[in-house]
Amino acid sequence: MTEPEKISGDNDREAAPAEASTAPDDMDTVKRILEAILFASSDPVPLRKMRSAIGKPASERVKDALAVLTEDYQKGSRGMEIEEVAGGFRMVTNPDYSAWVLKVRAPKRDDRVSPAALETLAIVAYKQPIPRAEVDAIRGVNSGELLRRLLERGLVKIVGKAETLGRPLLYGTTKRFLEVFGLKRLEDLPKGEWEREGAKPGPLPQASKE
């Protein structure tokens, strides 16, 4: 008999779907399955996708099982946490132990975003949809190259064209932006002085742990 395949965390390859031997029929089993799914997924997993994976009738227990599992991690002072972000759930490292994690997983140089790029990203995040000319006007300098880099990183995207002379491109943020900054939705961005007419947006939340 073939042994079940073991899948490591952050696994990018497509694994062949495996047939479950039996459908889960209790809360503890559903929790363990959800834990395995979250550990093996590099991207946030939507609730509907977890329900689909579990199958009926246990799919009705997924939301409650996920809430209990999340609480278990919070109460247990574990090295991992479960967070809701960008329309799904993911497993991340506990920030209390980040110093040790970074000793074996140093951030890549090209993952870093310059202060100028963060300022540009904040303007797009708070003012979207926004044309480049307005970004330039708020910053007081040309932002074309910074917007290009943010596009390459998948943090911003072109969301349309303005109904003004020349039909300039409009920029907005991506799902990847929500993931990086640990936001469930754009409405979770901190509010503040930037809401005043003509005010410059404030800083973004601290980038989420991975």
Domain ranges of the chain: 27-104, 109-195
Write the class of the CATH domain 109-195.
mainly alpha
Continuous segment of H or E residues that includes residue 99? helix 98-104
In Å, what is the CA distance from 83 to each residue of 70, 128, 129, 140? 8, 25, 27, 37
Q: Quick one: tokens of 68?
A: 């209990």
Q: Quick one: tokens of 210?
A: 């991975």
| pLDDT tens figures, 131-172 | 999 999 999 998 988 998 899 888 999 999 888 888 889 999
| pLDDT tens figures, 97-124 | 777 877 776 655 555 678 899 999 999 9
Among residues 118, 141, 201, the alpha carbon closest in space to that of 133 is found at: 141
Write the class of the CATH domain 27-104.
mainly alpha
Q: How confident is the model at residue 208 (pLDDT cuts 50, 70, 90)?
A: low
Mean pLDDT lowest among 24-33, 60-69, 170-179 = 24-33
Please check whether the two domains, 27-104 and 109-195, share a CATH topology: yes
